[in-house]
């Protein structure tokens, strides 16, 4: 039963969310059982209880019940059906693994989306400030590199692009709906340097703020 107990252990792989590595380890455990212990009910039962414990630990670590996560597979486990043969164990393991992996991935995605929403909420509320990845990360008390990667992963765009898009949209609206001077609008959308604002606006819309205002007069 070498593969069952050699590090990294299943509980550590599950806890870290290394699902590919966990799958490979489970495959190795089942292969070893099939090759060397297929006729040993004792070894199959040992593997079953160890894997069952790893699944249970993963659920309990997240404050959940394994029985609620894996439905009928929990009943099969309680009745020791997976310990009958390697085939029974394999079918049960992959069914449970799929359910636990799906649940954890969904929770991870939800947590990432919550962070994305917090990023966007902060940016919208501080649009008149000189926003940056650093200022957003400081607010969230997270490392800038982590926030940047997470945001790009979930939205497909950089935080800097999101900030610029909102600032340009707001300046566009102000140019059409107000009589504020260009430098006033620049300051209102967080650009203390009007020349930089004009240059950025032209790059974004293909015309200067004044040309845009004139075209919408």
Torsion of CA 21, 26, 27, 30, to 10 degrees: 160
What confidence score (pLDDT) does residue 63 get? Answer: 84
Neighbour-count burial of 6, counting CB atoms closer than 10 A to its CB (0-12 exposed, 13-18 middle, 19+ buried): exposed
Neighbour-count burial of 13, counting CB atoms closer than 10 A to its CB (0-12 exposed, 13-18 middle, 19+ buried): buried
What number of residues does the chain have? 217
Query: Can you give 26-38 as a three-state secondary structure string?
Result: HHHHHHHHHHHCC
Tens digits of residue pLDDT in 6-47: 888 898 888 878 899 999 999 999 999 999 999 999 999 999
Tell me how far the alpha carbon of residue 39 is from its chain's centroid: 43
Distance, in Å, from the CA atom of 120 to the CA atom of 67, rounded to the nearest integer, reads 37
Distance, in Å, from the CA atom of 59 to the CA atom of 64, rounded to the nearest integer, reads 5
Distance, in Å, from the CA atom of 29 to the CA atom of 2, rounded to the nearest integer, reads 8
Give the whole-number percent of the chain exceeding pLDDT 90: 75
Question: For 160-215, CATH number?
Answer: 1.10.10.60
**CB of 25 within 8 A of CB of 47?**
no
Going by pLDDT thresholds of 50, 70 and 90, the confidence category of residue 99 is: very high
Q: pTM, whole model, 2 decimals? A: 0.61
Tens digits of residue pLDDT in 172-199: 999 998 999 999 999 999 999 999 999 9
């Amino acid at each position: 039963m070498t593969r069952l107990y050699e590090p990294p252990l299943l509980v550590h792989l599950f806890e870290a969310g290394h699902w590919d590595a966990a799958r490979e380890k489970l495959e190795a455990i089942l292969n070893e059982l099939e090759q060397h212990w297929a006729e040993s009910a004792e070894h199959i039962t040992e593997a079953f209880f160890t894997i069952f414990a790893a699944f249970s630990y993963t659920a309990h670590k997240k404050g959940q019940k394994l029985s609620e996560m894996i439905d009928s597979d929990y009943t099969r486990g309680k009745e020791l059906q997976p310990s009958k043969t390697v085939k029974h164990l394999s079918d049960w393991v992959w069914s449970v693994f799929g359910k636990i992996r799906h649940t954890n991935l969904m929770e991870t995605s939800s947590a990432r989306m919550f962070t994305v929403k917090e990023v966007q909420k902060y940016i919208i509320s501080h649009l008149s400030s000189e926003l940056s990845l650093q200022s957003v990360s400081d607010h969230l008390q997270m490392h800038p590199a982590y926030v940047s990667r997470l945001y790009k992963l979930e939205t497909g765009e950089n935080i800097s692009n999101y900030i610029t898009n909102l600032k340009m949209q707001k300046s566009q609206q102000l140019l059409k709906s107000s009589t504020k001077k260009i430098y006033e609008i620049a300051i209102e959308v967080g650009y203390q340097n009007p020349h930089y604002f004009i240059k950025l606006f032209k790059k974004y819309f293909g015309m200067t703020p004044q040309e845009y205002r004139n075209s919408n007069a």
